[in-house]
Structure 1
Amino acid sequence: MSPTPPPCTGAPVAAADANEAIRRFVRARRGRSWTAEDRAEYARLLEIWTLAARGAVVEAAV
């Protein structure tokens, strides 16, 4: 199973799902030095989570 959410299909990713993907990603690399690719993937996951969390806040405000 991939540690990352699927590519954007237009459907929003839940913040909890994005957070879990980050946790799986970090756990899989525990105790190892991160490569440039790891850091780029982590940044991508954080962006997904940020968009999901922002969407949840906006939705709650409506």
Structure 2
Amino acid sequence: MSPDLVTAPPAARSVAELNAAIRALWSHPAVPLTAEQREEYWRLCAELRQVERGDVTVAA
């Protein structure tokens, strides 16, 4: 396979980065999330669980 076709997987984010992204979704605790924001929230939570379980290697 050509080296040009080989791409590295995206680097995993740290727990701190994921927590910051989750917190950033809310402009205010009383403001509900939009449908798109809820989808992003659940995706971030799933990614966070993977990192916490050690399913992924966090980039240095």
Is TM (by shorter chain) over 0.5?
yes
| Percentage identity across paired residues of the two chains | 33
Partner of 1:15 in structure 2? 15
Q: Which runs of 5 or more residues in structure 1 are unaligned?
A: 1-7
- C-alpha contact (below 8 Å) 1:18/1:52 kept by paired residues: no
Alignment root-mean-square deviation, CA: 2.6
State the one-letter code of the partner of 1:12. A
> Based on CA coordinates, which of the two structures has the bigger radius of gyration?
2
d(CA) in 1 for partners of 2:37, 2:13: 21
1:55–1:30 Cα change, 3 Å: same
Higher relative contact order, chain-length normalized (CA < 8 Å, sep 6+):
2
Q: Which runs of 5 or more residues in structure 2 are unaligned?
A: 1-8
Q: CA deviation at 1:30?
A: 3.2
- What TM-score does the superposition give when structure 1 sets the normalisation length? 0.57
Structure ranking higher in helix proportion: 1
Question: Number of residues paired by the alignment?
Answer: 49
Segments ≥4 residues shifted beyond 2 Å: 28-31
